Structure 1
Amino acid sequence: MIVRNSLFCFAILILLFAAGCGPRASVPSTAPKVPAEPTAPQVPEVPTFVPVGEGAARGLAKSLSVKPQNLCSWTDLRPGIEASLHYIRSRSQSSVCVDQPGLRLTWGQLRDSVSELASLLVSLDHDPSLLAERFAWYKLEPGTLLTGYYEPWLKASLSPDETFKYPLYGVPDDLQIVDLGSFHPRWAGQKLVYRVEDGQVEPYFDRAAIDGLGALEGTGDEIAWAADPVDVFFLQIQGSGRLDLPDGSFKHILYGGRNGRQYVSIGKVLIEKGYIPKEEMSMQRIRQFLNENPDVAEDILFKNPSYVFFRLADEGPFGSINAILTPRVSVAVDRSMIPLGSVVALKTALMDYDTGKADPFFSLVLAQDTGGAIQGTRMDLFCGAGEEAETLAGHLQEGAEVYMLLSKRVIASLQNRPQ
């Protein structure tokens, strides 16, 4: 009877979830969209990939540089690009990887473009204009917001004591995930995170229940303990980090899963409540406020119901393509806008750690990660580990231009394909 009630409630939950979902559009042809170049500058109402003229593409290609990424040569990008190709090849090559206004690609087409770019790396140090000769450039308009993330280090222990008493949890045994696409194609790619209590399907515990009410205490899901609850929160925001252990060793702590609750930015909460002026907002300013105001810190943290679970590892940090992230090269994207594995040109400005001034940044970056708050055109740059990376990531909120590079050879082969 308990099982029957659980399944009945689960079916009701699925129906309620589906009530707000419209049917998925049918999949159109596999040829990429190559719209005519606009005759006048326009600001699209929805994000659109707009082709760049040949002359402009040549100028952009010549402006690219790997120096802002602390790389010595274009060939230094090869390990990351090979990791991206490994991921791309693991996908169904005939399936569509991106379908947005102005750009539609299959995984096979993306593979061919990225493979061709990889073959040019050895030549780009001497002739970056090859990226304009061999590739069509598509600008994502309007421009986007670039933020940053990093690999935090935090004092922690693999066993609790009076100093290390704030738990870091692995994925709980009672956390269940269902792929809604298995029920109906209209829900493809959507998942539901839940738990079963007294035969009833319930949303998984939120942050207030876990950290405030001790919902996971005594379950054995703890994998480490930290000295500072604010460190735990920021580790969850970043998604991975390193544990600095009492014996002088360290462990990577990597993303394991989420509780399925909606992410809420506590930065926005602090601005809305008047605690921090918008112009002062940064990761460092948030940490300062939480440390200086313990009487309200817990309530502020509980405003974000999303909760991240972890796993321990000897290597890291890993992105969503299961490859180690490269500082100033790897970016987190919304995979529906920019497919994972893509190589894109990113034009923005990054703060110089020593001077505090903004320096130009125009380099190729690799879409290798995702994030709960990374939606639409927004991108998140992996800044690395350490104090410099934390400072850069904490202050990074810059406007940016994004360009997708697509092999002209791939486009030509598609245009010549018999209908």
Structure 2
Amino acid sequence: MLTLRRFLCVVFGFSVLLACFGCPQKSGVPSIDQTPAYQRVGDSEAESLAAHLSTRLQGLRSWTALRPALEDSLGYILRRPQNAVCVNRPGLELTWAQLGDSVAELIGLLPQLDRNPRLVAERFQWLKVAPGTLLTGYYEPWLEASLTPDDRFKYPLYGVPEDLKTTNLSNFHYRWKGQSLVYRMGEEGIEPYFDREAIDGKGVLAGRGREIAWAKDPVDIFFLQIQGSGRLVLPDGSVKHILYGGKNGHKYVSLGKLLIERGHVPREEMSMQRIRAFLNANPETAQQLMFENPSYVFFRLSDDGPYGSINSILVPRVSAAVDRTMIPLGSVLALKTLLMDYENGESDPFMSLVLAQDTGGAIKGTRMDLFCGSGEEAETLAGHLQEQSEVFMLVSRRVMEALPHVSE
């Protein structure tokens, strides 16, 4: 075991070795640059896209219904260091102040958009997120639970343990900017925090007073952890929000991917519903399969929610989770995709504005996760949503004109 400082020294030494002796590229074979970037959209294309903007599939009757969520995004932006850069990718560099100016301009434009959505192309530069976006979905699951254990409710939901520690690695070396280390202190130094098997299989947290509720079904808990928040339906019929509190720092392993690789579920049939059906039908192997995902989420109880990473309540089909190193939180995005219409159960073209208000452990690069809402319909949508989509960041033309350094 190591002290924290000695551990970081070892990690840094190993990273230097990888840099010096890593796998060389094959000579004569050009590398394909897939660096995520922003590409300016021409005026005519932007106008054509803007003409199809609609809030119908979001359940909003007017663009003015976006005002509260946009004001939440603007409030988050204004709390950032205004002169600091919020995005620096090929094709676009912005400060928080410039991003805030764009969002504020859109808020002022909302009353006019019902009559003329093309104003979004006239007043904003559209920048396409490249090379493309895989759109997935997440939702707020409901599960039966109790605040006290009994014979029916015996599977614990844990709050953040008191011995779970996190440190900012950029404090130790600039190469680790934006990275953190989750750990616990052992008898002789730091150790990785307990994984799923240790917590749920060996009960290492049992009896330490960190239980905040108990559920009927461990599979319900597993899916709640994947989504990050949900609602507990208590025995008296009351409902309590259960929100994300923290993670144990282990890598997330996709159970769907494991089931495909082992031939249990055909790739074309994969969905959250299919995973749950397999686990329910194979209880003797379900627990061991879940143990293969060592990542573990801890929660907190609340009277409202669910909250995103900007600390505002998520809006169905409006709020989205992004990689904040690619798309800054608070951004306004235009999303072109296919989305289920609840009225007819079929996928319809979707072209509307969404807001970057959340993050997720599996959301990296250009991938985006759309918050689908709460309940069975939202679960169905989120469970099946995997669409190659187009995403455009909207930046005020006034702001863009003041950025001569932005490449075309």
TM-score range, shorter chain: over 0.9
Kindly state the Cα deviation for residue 21 of structure 1 after the two structures are TM-superposed.
5.3
The counterpart of 1:110, out of the listed 89, 99, 107, is: 99
The counterpart of 2:117, out of the listed 123, 128, 133, is: 128
Matching of residue 332 in structure 1 with residue 321 in structure 2: yes
The counterpart of 2:283, out of the listed 284, 294, 301, is: 294
Q: 1:326 to 1:20 in 2, by over 3 A?
A: farther
Alignment of 1:15-414 (within 5 A): 15-19=9-13, 45-414=34-403
Deviations 1:54-108 (A, max 9, x none): 1111111111111111100000000100000011011111111111111111111
Q: Which amino acid aligns with 1:363?
A: S
Structure 2 Cα separation of the partners of residues 189 and 415 of structure 1: 28
Matching of residue 12 in structure 1 with residue 6 in structure 2: yes
Structure 1 Cα separation of the partners of residues 246 and 374 of structure 2: 22
Kindly state the Cα deviation for residue 127 of structure 1 after the two structures are TM-superposed.
1.1
Tell me the secondary structure at the aligned position of residue 313 of structure 2.
Answer: coil
Deviations 1:180-211 (A, max 9, x none): 12223332221111001113210000001101
Q: Which amino acid aligns with 2:81?
A: S
Length-normalised TM-score, structure 2: 0.93
CA contact (8 A) 2:169 2:176 kept: yes
Structure 2 Cα separation of the partners of residues 145 and 158 of structure 1: 38
Q: Which amino acid aligns with 2:252?
A: Y
Deviations 1:337-391 (A, max 9, x none): 1110000000100123454321111110000000111111110000000110010
Structure 2 Cα separation of the partners of residues 159 and 199 of structure 1: 36
Structure 2 Cα separation of the partners of residues 122 and 268 of structure 1: 45
Query: Structure 1 stretches of 5 or more lacking a match?
Result: 1-5, 23-42
Structure 2 Cα separation of the partners of residues 406 and 158 of structure 1: 47
CA contact (8 A) 1:44 1:141 kept: no
Structure 2 Cα separation of the partners of residues 21 and 186 of structure 1: 10
CA contact (8 A) 1:338 1:367 kept: yes
CA contact (8 A) 2:57 2:341 kept: no
Structure 1 Cα separation of the partners of residues 15 and 300 of structure 2: 33
Structure 1 Cα separation of the partners of residues 294 and 75 of structure 2: 35
Q: Which amino acid aligns with 2:191?
A: E
Tell me the secondary structure at the aligned position of residue 402 of structure 2.
Answer: helix
Structure 2 Cα separation of the partners of residues 354 and 261 of structure 1: 40
Q: Which amino acid aligns with 1:12?
A: R
Structure 2 Cα separation of the partners of residues 283 and 354 of structure 1: 22
Residue range with higher mean Cα deviation, 54-63 or 175-184? 175-184
Q: Which amino acid aligns with 1:140?
A: V
Residue range with higher mean Cα deviation, 139-148 or 362-371? 139-148
CA contact (8 A) 2:196 2:295 kept: yes
Structure 2 Cα separation of the partners of residues 20 and 137 of structure 1: 42
Structure 2 Cα separation of the partners of residues 91 and 229 of structure 1: 39
CA contact (8 A) 1:21 1:186 kept: no
Query: Structure 2 stretches of 5 or more lacking a match?
Result: 17-31
Tell me the secondary structure at the aligned position of residue 370 of structure 2.
Answer: strand
The equivalent of 2:25 in structure 1 is none
Length-normalised TM-score, structure 1: 0.91
> How many matched pairs?
390
Kindly state the Cα deviation for residue 20 of structure 1 after the two structures are TM-superposed.
5.6
Q: CA RMSD in A?
A: 1.5
Tell me the secondary structure at the aligned position of residue 383 of structure 2.
Answer: helix
Kindly state the Cα deviation for residue 11 of structure 1 after the two structures are TM-superposed.
1.4
Deviations 1:297-334 (A, max 9, x none): 11111111100000000010000000000000000000
Structure 1 Cα separation of the partners of residues 190 and 395 of structure 2: 46
Tell me the secondary structure at the aligned position of residue 138 of structure 1.
Answer: strand
Deviations 1:27-67 (A, max 9, x none): xxxxxxxxxxxxxxxx9632221111111111111111111
Structure 2 Cα separation of the partners of residues 275 and 58 of structure 1: 47
Kindly state the Cα deviation for residue 144 of structure 1 after the two structures are TM-superposed.
1.2
Q: Which amino acid aligns with 1:85?
A: L
Structure 2 Cα separation of the partners of residues 349 and 314 of structure 1: 34
CA contact (8 A) 1:44 1:142 kept: no
Q: 1:20 to 1:316 in 2, by over 3 A?
A: farther
